[in-house]
Structure 1
Amino acid sequence: MADLRLPMHQTEGQQDWIKIEHSETRTSRGLACTEPIVERIARIQADARELSEYYKVESSTSRYKRLHEFYASEIDSLRELAFDSYNQDEKVDYLLVQNYMARAQRTLDLERLRNDDYAEFIDPFAKTIEEWVGARMRVDTIEPKEAAESLDSMTINIANCKDIIKNAKRGAYSKATGYRAAKTVETLRAHLKETYDFYAGYDPVWDWWVREPFTRIDTALGAYRDFIRQELVGIQPGDEDVIIGEPIGRDGLLTELKAEMIPYSPEELIRIAEKEYSWCETEMIKASRELGFGDKWRDALEHVKGLIEPPGAQPVFIKSLVDQATEYVKKHDLVTVPRVAEEAIRMKMMSPSRQKVSPFFLGGPELIVSYPTSDMSHADKMMSMRGNNRHFSKATAFHEMIPGHHLQLFVAERVKPHRQMFETPFYIEGWALYWEMLFWSRGDFFTRPEDRVGTLFWRMHRCARIVFSLKFHLGRMTPAECIDLLVNWVGHERANAEGEVKRSFNGDYSPLYQAGYLLGALQLWRFRGEVVGQGLMGDKEFHDRILRSNMMPVELLRALILNQDLDKDFKSSWRFYGDI
């Protein structure tokens, strides 16, 4: 039990904070009841981060139990607050943090279930590693001889685990299970090394007893990781370009959709994407006819891909597109553009290695231009230039910068920044793609058929992202089939399609991230129709209100701006696309 007695020099404010800090299981009583919701959000985020750093073994039972207990305690405390006394912004913050913690709990539960898939050939040694890492984090007294004996016995346990895999029936473990297990082994190996390094050099007895058995177990863990990758996943040593990913299944998708406040099933969302794709194909044929290719829109697409900037000219060209879009939104008074946001745009070139997973240029705080370097092969150079041609770029320069991500993130850091904790692709990517839809609808931006082909390519791409990402997580498409879909359905260069799929499934993005682009844009487009279309606001006020509300699921954003009645049991119900 912590000693809560306070030194006499502490201020009243410091005393208040310490009372809050030490009342996790009773935050609904006493002073914590008066904790402002914004401060509560900051505290919960900071506490969750601290606990995740301390209970650092991701697959451990102790981590699962402690985080689950933490979120349950905070949810119970939140539920006792006087929700009806809050103003609309505070109610939204309440719902955001409640949703955040409920999602975290559901995710923990699903991860535990997925870990069970490989428990029999990981747990026999993983539990011991978790115990040693926990002892090191608590700075318990560790007997070096005992540690040496434990590490030595783990080598035998790993050999036995290999036999479990060798003797298993064919197909007993999926590739995804093997991929996840191999990553877990590598993570455990890293944690064990950190534990060893903590004592090595400081304690000569530790070195004398532990160095040799640690070296053997470290080697055994590395070999076991490679064994799992080869036997269960089919990845040979050195073959790092193979795309596997970790499908989360239908239950996992439903958990994510609930957290994102999307009241559609994965199957319904796939049908929305297919319907949107049909619209794109119709419009693509119209542009193709204008270019003289008739109904063969793929020929028109190939023509546009060949309209490229020569070596050395791409950065200046991309900057001109950024300036063009900025001047456009200012001229038509579509959104507020702060002077510093426009003034401080920076640019850098993307490395060849990063282009393997991000084949197109990126934006946000800075503009990152994807273009081939001199040492790339001729084929790779041509794929990069064709994928970043003039007219594809026109449709993405403003998506990445102004009025897209650069402006969005600029405002997010300055207005209600605590809501960046509730980052969602439906808001972030939906906002940027929404502007592609708005510029299209105005009829005076994409005036040339080549420009329309360029932006329609990206719209088709976003339709395909919904289809391939959801079908992958449903277990209905392999990564190879996802690549084929991008090539055959959209017209991607194959190397660029491979980079896109690798980027989607390498673990850096949430399962619904790729679906968030078009679905978020469709939400915002429908919302605009309800507000601007009905004369409740002009475009500039509408767009500024969205930016200044900061990040959250779009349905909650809609409820905030329309000042809808909210209660603490708010459930998603907005069928923004109608019934499917």
Structure 2
Amino acid sequence: MVTRQYPAAGRQPRAILARFPVFLIAPFVMTALAGPGDPPGSARELAPAFETLIERYLCEVRGVGCSLPGDMSADSFQQRIAAQSAILEDLEAVDRGTLTLEQDIDWRFLRGILKANIRAESDVQRWRQDPRQYVFTNGLIFKIEADHRHPDERGRDLVAELQTLRARLVNAETNLTEFIPNWLPYANARIDGTVIVMQEHLRKFASRLSPDLRDALIREAEQTVEALGRFRRFVNEDWTERPEGDFRIGADLYNYLHEHRHQIPTADRALEQISRGERGFTRMPDYHDWGWKQYEIVEGHLERKAASIDPDKTWKEIIRETKSLHPFNEQLVYEGIVLSRKTREWTIENDLVSIPWEDDDMLMVASDPSMAASQWWGFGPGYLPAGHPSTKMAWPIIPIQPEWPADVAEENLTEKDWSFYYAIGPHEAYPGHHLMRLYRHRNDRPLRRYEYSYSDQAWCYYVEWELTPRPEYGFFPEEMQDRYELEILRLKLWRMGRVIIDSGLHGGRMTWDEAVTVESERTGFVRRGAEINIDGIAGGGTNTAAPTIGYFQWMLLRDDYFNKMRELDQQGTLKDFHDRVYRIGFIPVELVRDQLMVELEREYRPEWHR
């Protein structure tokens, strides 16, 4: 049963039916003010039944304003599929002729999400394969470190969350029916790191609470540590004896997700032209071959760039030489803060995109121990729930772990060097993920506040490869321009490699070991980092590779924006293009295109739409 939570003081949650009466005519008319894409002074009537359907999806599937079961029982997963199937049925019954432009875009966006989710969650049940699904601490860490509420209020929520975590661990012992050998070491590391969170992070936070609540939270943490110990024994003694499963999602589901979740076209001459892809390249099996083609193109650029820097050295030798100059471990967090704030100043100085806030900030923080085995470097913006009103976010970095031997620690630090900091900074902070998330949290459309797509990461590739290295923008130190451009090319190679590895692993054309070899020996990551990267790709399926196509889609849309402005007898600007994209939101690029082009016509040629 889903319960709706009401914000008004003194109101109690009430149970709601699994399906809302979506098509009742509301006794009022909802309107939205005119935006840049509307005729001046106009207002748009929103179809209220559709808005109710969006609200229902956010409640029943995303838990926005509602309380969903958090125990991860087998029944809860079936209930989720059933809820999405019912919403999809009602969505497809909507008369799209009654919808505004923005609503129709949302109709297409939501339909793609639902169709993809239902198929993927039915065919690939990670909750039967991966112990880490049951031990995820982002919400806990946010409440401990960054939640703006009074500590006691957060403490009460933490008590409830630890109880839910223990319920999940109990259900995991029944649910985990398939053993994936490569995931065992990462499961152990996640569990061990979570124990540290309970014993250290949570206990320190508890000392700030009122005495009774402090004692209650400490008791819950102690019980959770015991439960994690039992779960670890289960994972290593019982789960390992269960039938071996297959992590691959297969070519059919892969293509289905490209069609519905990402809404990437099968045949698009302009996209094929800009991305040097043959007809059908966006689908398996040709997608894998296209990945190799792009990978080799970028390799050629790396070789030529390296020759211009030092003709006697390979690009990998120059990269390794550059990476030997890195911050000390104790400098990592603060240098990240300095760099993050530099990206904001740089974005403003170059007039790349509007920043309509005065108090926004992006900090680097040390990641909690539970995540140290999940990524080699760190994460993008984190610890801020979707739709949160704050403008402050964290950029977690994986610190050197005390138990790492010296050679592993040094390998890790070489991949947190200055060239990587500078190359990835705008991608993660401004005008990348952080600024994009601030815009998303304030999007006029509720669905786009809580849902986004592959285009989000694809846009960050655009920021990273097209904006960051341009000498006229002056982000890199002048004396390091060429070497940092070389690092940018290596990162582009890495992302082209994701197409090869993602499609290769899930389509059966590449083994796990072959993927690690490409990531390490050819792309240039140290082996431990490569192994962690491959683990992340194996647990997904299309998600790490689709943004690479998305980058080419954004490049094409940028060209088409300027051409459209020419048709409208206007002079487009890069900032105007960027601002419009950020306002529309990072939904599938084809949907952004359709909304953008109509909005431009409405703004500059309103007579075309009368």
**What is the TM-score normalised by the length of structure 1?**
0.66
Deviation at 1:373, TM superposition (A): 5.3
Which of the two has higher C-alpha Rg? 1
- CA deviation vs aligned residue, 1:108-147 (integer Å, no higher than 9, x gap): 44248998x9xxxxxxxxxxxxxxxxxxxxxxxxxxxxxx
CA distance in structure 2 between the aligned counterparts of 1:378 and 1:396, rounded to whole angstroms? 25
8 Å Cα contact 2:180-2:247 kept in structure 1: yes
**Aligned: 1:526 with 2:556:** yes
**Aligned: 1:513 with 2:514:** no
Gaps of 5+ in 2: 1-10, 28-45, 130-173, 188-229, 266-281, 382-392, 567-571, 601-610
**Aligned: 1:44 with 2:57:** yes
| Aligned counterparts, 1:117-156, within 5 A | none
Deviation at 1:232, TM superposition (A): 4.1
CA distance in structure 2 between the aligned counterparts of 1:534 and 1:41, rounded to whole angstroms? 32
8 Å Cα contact 2:380-2:433 kept in structure 1: yes
8 Å Cα contact 1:370-1:384 kept in structure 2: no
Distance change in 2, residues 1:374/1:441 (3 Å): closer
**Partner SS state of residue 449, structure 1:** helix
Matching residue within 547, 551, 558 for 2:586: 551
| Aligned counterparts, 1:222-261, within 5 A | 226-227=237-238, 229-230=240-241, 232-233=243-244, 246-258=247-259, 259-261=261-263
Partner of 2:22 in structure 1?
27
Deviation at 1:390, TM superposition (A): 0.9
CA distance in structure 2 between the aligned counterparts of 1:340 and 1:25, rounded to whole angstroms? 40
- CA deviation vs aligned residue, 1:224-273 (integer Å, no higher than 9, x gap): 9845524644xxxxxxxxxx872111122122112211232033332332
Gaps of 5+ in 1: 1-13, 118-157, 159-172, 184-218, 234-243, 566-580
**Partner SS state of residue 513, structure 1:** coil
Distance change in 2, residues 1:428/1:69 (3 Å): same
CA distance in structure 2 between the aligned counterparts of 1:398 and 1:442, rounded to whole angstroms? 12
**Partner SS state of residue 42, structure 1:** helix
Deviation at 1:474, TM superposition (A): 1.2
8 Å Cα contact 1:399-1:432 kept in structure 2: yes
**Partner SS state of residue 555, structure 1:** helix
CA distance in structure 1 between the aligned counterparts of 2:249 and 2:18, rounded to whole angstroms? 36
Deviation at 1:406, TM superposition (A): 0.6
Distance change in 2, residues 1:443/1:40 (3 Å): same
Deviation at 1:55, TM superposition (A): 10
CA distance in structure 2 between the aligned counterparts of 1:384 and 1:327, rounded to whole angstroms? 29
Distance change in 2, residues 1:563/1:362 (3 Å): same
**What is the TM-score normalised by the length of structure 2?**
0.63
Partner of 2:110 in structure 1?
97
Q: Give the counterpart letter for 1:516 in structure 2.
A: A
**Partner SS state of residue 346, structure 1:** strand
Which structure dedicates a bigger proportion of its chain to helix? 1
| Aligned counterparts, 1:97-116, within 5 A | 97-111=110-124
Distance change in 2, residues 1:287/1:23 (3 Å): closer
- CA deviation vs aligned residue, 1:502-530 (integer Å, no higher than 9, x gap): 3333x4xx422211332222221111111
Deviation at 1:104, TM superposition (A): 2.9
**Aligned: 1:562 with 2:597:** yes
8 Å Cα contact 1:176-1:247 kept in structure 2: no
- CA deviation vs aligned residue, 1:419-450 (integer Å, no higher than 9, x gap): 133322x2221121110122267443456221
Distance change in 2, residues 1:178/1:407 (3 Å): closer
CA distance in structure 2 between the aligned counterparts of 1:54 and 1:375, rounded to whole angstroms? 37
CA distance in structure 1 between the aligned counterparts of 2:81 and 2:370, rounded to whole angstroms? 39
8 Å Cα contact 1:371-1:385 kept in structure 2: no
8 Å Cα contact 1:466-1:514 kept in structure 2: yes
Paired residue total: 441
- CA deviation vs aligned residue, 1:437-482 (integer Å, no higher than 9, x gap): 2226744345622101211111111111121122111123233322
Q: Give the counterpart letter for 2:400 in structure 1.
A: P
- CA deviation vs aligned residue, 1:5-52 (integer Å, no higher than 9, x gap): xxxxxxxxx9xxx9x965938633555996343332121221235799
**Partner SS state of residue 514, structure 1:** coil
- CA deviation vs aligned residue, 1:320-369 (integer Å, no higher than 9, x gap): 4333332332122110123346x432231235663332222333221223
**Partner SS state of residue 395, structure 2:** strand
8 Å Cα contact 1:179-1:229 kept in structure 2: no
**Partner SS state of residue 24, structure 1:** coil
**Aligned: 1:288 with 2:306:** yes
**Aligned: 1:482 with 2:493:** no
CA distance in structure 1 between the aligned counterparts of 2:427 and 2:55, rounded to whole angstroms? 30
